[in-house]
Amino acid sequence: MVAYTSTEQHQAVTKAIELIGIGRDNLRRIAVDDAFRLRIDCLAEAVERDRQKGLQPFCVIGTAGTVNTGAIDDLDAIGTYCRDERLWFHVDGAFGALAILAPALRHRLRGIALADSLAFDFHKWAHIQYDAGCVLVRDGHAHRDTFSMRPPYLHGAERALGAGAEWPCDLGPELSRGFRALRIWMAIKEHGIARFGEQIARNVRQAEYLANLIRKEPDLELLTEPTLNIICFRFNRTGCDVASLDRLNEEIVADVQESGIAVPSMTSLRGIRAIRINITNHRCRSEDLQALVRAVVDAGARRLVGEGIRGEALSPRGNP
């Protein structure tokens, strides 16, 4: 059995494939386009190749909001392809799926409704305390048939404690489990779904604002256009080689984290190290983003002097 996802997949997908016993050698990582979205033509070729080898393609995992850049795969096209090819369509919407709550962003997730299963986290863009992951499975019978086991000590009854057609243990691997849903339900009751959508839309506008701040800084290079709430950029000077820039940016991130001003993270995009900002906090303000940019530029300048690295500032036109 073979599953397919993009090269921008989260490691959670590889771990899941390992956990269910299929093994990562049977997870194909399909190439992405310039906007980091899974390429359907490459997917179709890979499925065809595997079928010719006698293997059994069974599942495609699309991503709604990749961890590196927030890219959203063409869910409509993948969903249609999976329906035509009789493949299970799973969507990893860890943080991005909840963008559906913002009316202005909903269209970007077109096709998510075709999913056979969808995983997303309330502990990401819904600000719920860790952990509060959620999975939705379209076919309730298949879902129950997978997990439901009712030995004599778990036998249902017409009334009293054993009553009720469906128990949580019928829907997943755990028998005893925490009541995570309570805090999600309370937050939704308290704030209302629309408020969550407003905060998400605001974070996306803030990512665009941050991208503009970066474009104006001669020492900073924007590495991706924002699709959702993630921005990737780096400190750059012309005349520096890739390896020293990678090291420099890693030091900058550590400096900024240790300064306590902001908590950028790092990733690699097409082989170069990038500073990654993921704005999911409902308390984030424009001033915080200005302080972040200042902190990165200052840390970069200090490091250049400290390590005797030479180089010219980029022209602001060097930015996309």
Q: Which residues bind ligand PLP (CB under 6 A)?
A: 10, 12, 63, 65-67, 92, 94-95, 121, 133
In the numeric block, the tokens 């979205």 are attached to 37
Altogether, the residues listed in the chain come to a count of 320
Interatomic CA distance for residues 94 and 66, integer angstroms? 9
The nearest distance, CB 133 to ligand PLP, in angstroms, is 5
Nearer to ligand PLP, 128 or 252 (CB): 128
Interatomic CA distance for residues 112 and 129, integer angstroms? 25
Nearer to ligand PLP, 8 or 219 (CB): 8
Interatomic CA distance for residues 232 and 277, integer angstroms? 6
Nearer to ligand PLP, 94 or 252 (CB): 94
Interatomic CA distance for residues 249 and 276, integer angstroms? 11
The nearest distance, CB 190 to ligand PLP, in angstroms, is 23
Q: Is the peptide bond before 131 cis (omega within 30 degrees of 0)?
A: yes
The nearest distance, CB 11 to ligand PLP, in angstroms, is 8
Nearer to ligand PLP, 66 or 206 (CB): 66
In the chain, where does DSSP find H-type helix? 11-19, 40-52, 75-85, 140-147, 180-191, 193-216, 242-259, 286-306
Nearer to ligand PLP, 10 or 247 (CB): 10
Rg of the Cα trace of the chain? 23
Q: Are 280 and 291 in contact (CB under 8 A)?
A: no
The nearest distance, CB 178 to ligand PLP, in angstroms, is 15
Nearer to ligand PLP, 244 or 265 (CB): 265
- Residue 95 has what DSSP assignment? T
Interatomic CA distance for residues 205 and 211, integer angstroms? 10
Nearer to ligand PLP, 92 or 116 (CB): 92
Q: What's the token pair of residue 104?
A: 């202005």
